[in-house]
Structure 1
Amino acid sequence: MGTAERREASDESVAVRSQARQGRQAPDRDIPVRRRAGDAVWDEQQQDCRPLWVEEPARKHPMPDPVRSAAVRAVIIIAVTLIQAMVAFLCTLAGSWLAFPMVISSVASTVVATWAVVDVWVTRQVWSQRYGVVSEPSSTARALRRERRAGRRQERAAQREQERIRRRGAAGQLSHS
C-alpha cells in the first residue's frame, strides 16, 4: 500500500469515524440520543460527561414584584446618573460649553436617583407590612394571642352554660312566685 493509498484510507476512515461520532453524539447535552447496544466507547463517554451546572433550590424567597420593579427602575436611573456625571466631568475637562448643562442635569439626576432608592426602601417596607407578616411558633405575640383566644373561648363557654341553666330553671317554673 503506497502513501497515496494510505492517505485515502486514513481520510476515509476519519470521515467514517466522524460521521459515526456525529450519529452517536447530540449537539446539545440535554437532547437524548439513541445508542447502539454494546458500544463501549459510548458508555465511557457517558460516564465522563457531567452536567454543566446543577440547579439548587433558592434559599430565600424571591423579591416581590412591586419591590423588584422599583429596584430595576432605581438601577436604571442610577446608571443614567452615573453616565451623566461622567459626561459632565469629561466635558469639564475638555472645556466644552456642554459642561454646565451636564453638571446641572447630573445634580437633578442625583436627586431623582436618591428618590428612586428611597422608593425601593418604602415599597419594600409597605409590602412587608401588608403581606410579609411571619409569625413563628416561638413568638411572644403569638403566645399572648393564643392565651387571649383561650380566655375568650372559656368566657363564651361559661356564658353559654349560664344561659342553659337559666333556660332550664325558667322552663321548670309554672308561676312567677
Structure 2
Amino acid sequence: MGTAERREAPEESVAERSQAGRGGKVPDQHGPGPRRARVTVREEQRQDYRPLWVEEPARRHPMPDPVRTAAVRAVLVIAVTLIQAMVAFLCTLAGSWLAFPMVISSVASTVAATWAVVDVWVTRQVWNQRYGVLSEPSSTARALRRERRARARQERASLREQERIRRTGGAGQLSHS
C-alpha cells in the first residue's frame, strides 16, 4: 500500500465505490458488527509534515555565467592535478617506471591549474568592469542636484514673470513714473 493510500484510506473498497457509482446498492459485507478501522496517518504527523527543502532567496547574486564556467573549469583542472600528484607519489613509493612521467605531467598540470585559477579571477574582474557597476548617485550628489534644479526653476519663474510684465506694458505696476 503506497503513501497516498495510507493517508486517505477509503472507507469502502474499490468494488463498492464502482458499484455505488453505477447506481447499484452495495450490501454491507461487514455484517452488523463494527466496521474495520481505517489505516490512516495520525493528525499530529500530518501537521509535522515538512517538505524536503524550502526555497530561500539568495543572499548574494549568483555568479555570472562566464565566471561560473571558468570556476567549474578550474575546479576540474585542479581535481585532475591532485589525482595526478597522488598517482605520481604512489608510483614513486612503489618504484614504478611510471613515476617519472607522472611527476612531469603533475608539474604541467600544476601550471595549468594555476592558469585556470588566474582565468577565474580575470574573468570575474572583466565581467565586473563591463556589467557590474550599478550607477547610483550618492545622497550628497542627489541633494546638490535637487538644490540646483530648484534654483533653476526659481530663475525660470522670475524670468517668466518679468516677461509677462514687459508684455503687458507695465500695466501691472503700481506706480507710473
Give the TM-score normalised by structure 2: 0.59
Q: RMSD of the alignment, in Å?
A: 3.6
1:145 corresponds to 2:141: yes
The CA deviation string for residues 90-125 of structure 1, in whole angstroms up to 9 with x for no partner, is 232333343333222212221221222233233334
Give per-residue Cα distances to partners, 1:18-67, cap 9 Å, x unaligned. Answer: xxxx2xx33xx7x99653149543142x6436346242414423333333
Indicate whether 1:48 and 2:45 are aligned.
yes
Which whole-Å CA distance do the structure 1 matches of 2:67 and 2:6 have between them?
Answer: 40
Q: 1:117 corresponds to which residue? A: 117
| Aligned residue number for residue 60 of structure 1 | 59
Deviation, 1:153, is 1.3
Q: How far has the Cα of 1:73 moved from its partner?
A: 1.2
Q: Larger helix proportion, structure 1 or 2?
A: 1
Corresponding residue for residue 167 of structure 2:
171
Distance across 2 between alignment mates of 1:32 and 1:157: 75
Query: In the alignment, residue 151 of structure 1 is paired with which amino acid?
Result: E
Moved more, 54-63 or 84-93: 54-63
Alpha-carbon distance in structure 1 between the residues aligned to 2:69 and 2:82: 20
In structure 2, relative to structure 1, the CA distance for the partners of 1:88 and 1:164 (3 Å cut) is same
Q: CA, structure 1 residues 32+72, in 2 after alignment: closer, same or farther (shift >3 Å)?
A: farther
Change (3 A) 1:69 1:161: same
Q: Displacement of 1:76 after TM fit?
A: 0.6
Corresponding letter in the other structure for 1:60:
R
Q: Supply the AA of the counterpart residue of 1:53.
A: L
Change (3 A) 1:115 1:159: farther
Question: Would you say the 8 A contact 2:6–2:41 is kept in 1?
Answer: no
Overall identity of the aligned pairs, in %:
51
- Say whether 1:73 aligns with 2:70: no
Stretches of structure 1 that go unaligned for 5 or more consecutive residues are 1-21, 136-140
Does structure 1 retain, via aligned residues, the 8 Å contact 2:8–2:40?
Answer: no
**2:10 alignment partner in structure 1:** 36
After superposition, the Cα gap between the structure-2 partners of 1:91 and 1:36, relative to the gap in structure 1 and judged at 3 Å, is same
Q: Which amino acid aligns with 1:73?
A: R
Question: Which has the greater radius of gyration?
Answer: 2
Aligned pair in 2 of structure 1 residues 161, 134: CA closer, same or farther (>3 Å)? closer
Counterpart residue number, 2:89: 89
Contact conserved, 2:9 with 2:38, CA < 8 A, in 1?
no
Q: Which amino acid aligns with 1:48?
A: Q
Equivalent pairs counted in the alignment come to 142
Aligned partner letter, 1:42: T
1:156 equivalent to 2:152? Answer: yes
Q: Tell me the TM-score normalized by structure 1.
A: 0.59
How many Å separate the matches in 2 of 1:70 and 1:114?
12
